[in-house]
Structure formats: structure tokens, C-alpha cells
Amino acid sequence: MVTSYFEPDWCDLIWTDWIELKSRSKERAIIPREQGVYRVRAEGYDGLIYVGQTNELKRRTGALARHTDKIEMPWNDPHTAAPNLWAWKDDKNWKYEVSIATTKLSRQNRMALECLLLWSYRLEKGESTLCNHGRFHPDYIKSSDKSANRRGRKLGKKEDRNSSWGPSYPPLTPWKSYLSENWMKLAWNEFQLISEQQDVPSKSGIYKIINTKTQELQYIGESKNLNNRLFNHKQRFPRAQFSYIETTSSIPKYQRLEIENDLIGHYYEQNRLAPRNQFLRGTGKER
């Protein structure tokens, strides 16, 4: 069976051939110093390991290659995916390959494109990539940032498995628009003014915020405490309206991030724009 996510025209982008992701690989010389998106796969695995975006493909993929090749698990910075790729490589002895596609999009829309790619992959594969959405190898603990100095490692037999691993949330299927009460077949609460927020539960969930006057989508988010998060948004969106869905306490954070990703990916597919205030205020880091 041919899988589109390995193909050179996946999601209507122009992808390069697959190149060995290794710190001393000569093939990587063809990767340009341009912005774009990239995908990583492993020999012997029939899915994608990771999808990312960056404002400089050569530098970012080079950093990922160097840190993944380290003897010890790398720090969470400067590349947050490197510890996870390292763990899977350490466990499976995988050899990675990378393929890139350049874009002329703004950082905000490039990040929304990344969401579209991840959602498209989830729809086709039926699950997420191994290393996006905060998922992590179940038998390893992740390194901290270098400043915190907590090196990741393989867990012992008597230690609990990493809770950031488990089955993916089922991919959301396209359905109606963000203004609908059943957008993406989810049961959204009725819109209400954020300035008059009431009866919002202190439970985990997903929310969407729209401009009251224009009805334009402003933001999609997730939280383990909807009441607190939406209260904190009052100053940022004083004249906006919001709607939310509750998620059960058994849904881990990475599954909430999968839902959030699918919603952003669907919106970008329909509008070719990120929600107005998405990926701003420090949330536009490369991944």
C-alpha cells in the first residue's frame, strides 16, 4: 500500500528526496538555508517519526542530527524533539531520514501548516507520529533543559512507565465550521461572552475564542482547568466570545494537544490562515 505521507507531493507541497539524518551525512548539503517544514522517518517503521517547522531548514535539521547522534540523551534544548528521537534510536537502533519542503509563509501560518500536516497524517495513519504532541517513549524519561541539568535515561524495570505515552486520540474528521456547535463532531458548549464568563467547569478541555463583532476565529486552546484558563484570557480578549468542550480526566495532555492540533489543522485547510491570535506571545517557537 502506498502511503501519501512518504510521497514527494504530500499535502500539495514539493518535498525533497529522503536524506540520511546523521551529523556527518554529506547528503544534508543539499538542504537550503530557507524556511519550511520537515518530516522524519526511520528504516523499518511504516510511519512518520516527527514533523516540524523552522525558519532555517539547514540549521534546524543539522541540530536535530547532531543531538540525536549523541552518546547520552541530549537536553530538551535547543531541539525539543531530539531527546525523543534519541530514545527511539537507542531502543530500536533506528536510522533516520529527513525530507524537507520550503515555504514562503509567515511563522504563524507555517506553524498552522505543521498542524495541517500532522492532522493529515493522523487521518491517514489513524494515529499520531511518535514524537509530536508531547508524546514520549514509554520506557525513557526525558531530559530537562540544560539549565535544569536533569539528564534523561532509560527507566528501570521496577519504575513506572512514562505517562506521556499511550494510544493516540482518534483523529477528528472534517465536519462543518468553527462556528458550529458540533464542529469536527465534538459537542461544543454554547458561545458566551468572555467578560461574563460563568458556569465554566474547573476541568480539562478544549476551547475556541471568536471576535464577537466579526465572528472571526481568534484562538484555539487546551487546558487542564478551563475555568482558570478562560479567566486568564479575559484581558487578552475582553470583547470576545468563547465555547468549550470538556474532556474526561482520563485523557492525558498529549491527547488534548492532538485534538487542539486537528482543530487548527482543519481551520488552516479551510482558510489557509492560522487563527488570528494563534502562535503568538512566545508560542511560535521552532519545533
CA distance 154 to 160: 11
Strand order in the sheet with 96-102: 19-20, 96-102, 36-42, 48-54
* Cβ neighbours of residue 160 closer than 8 Å, sequence gap 6 or more: none
Looking at residue 197, its pLDDT comes to 84
Q: What is the CATH number that goes with domain 183-271?
A: 3.40.1440.10
Q: What is the CATH number that goes with domain 4-154?
A: 3.40.1440.10
What pLDDT band is residue 287 in, cutting at 50, 70 and 90?
low
- What confidence tens digit (pLDDT) does each residue in 180-206 have? 999 999 999 999 999 988 889 999 999
Domains 4-154 and 183-271 share a fold: yes
Going from the C-alpha of 21 to that of each of 41, 62, 79, 131, the distances in angstroms are 9, 8, 14, 16
What pLDDT band is residue 138 in, cutting at 50, 70 and 90?
very high
pLDDT: which is higher, 130 or 28: 130
Model pTM score:
0.96
Q: Residue 251 pLDDT more than 50? A: yes
Closest CA to 70 of 146, 166, 133: 146
Looking at residue 270, its pLDDT comes to 96
Other Cβ atoms within 10 Å of 99 Cβ, number: 24
Q: Which residues pair with 98 in a beta bridge?
A: 19, 40
Residue spans per domain, the chain: 4-154, 183-271
- What confidence tens digit (pLDDT) does each residue in 69-107 have? 999 999 999 999 999 999 999 999 999 999 999 999 999
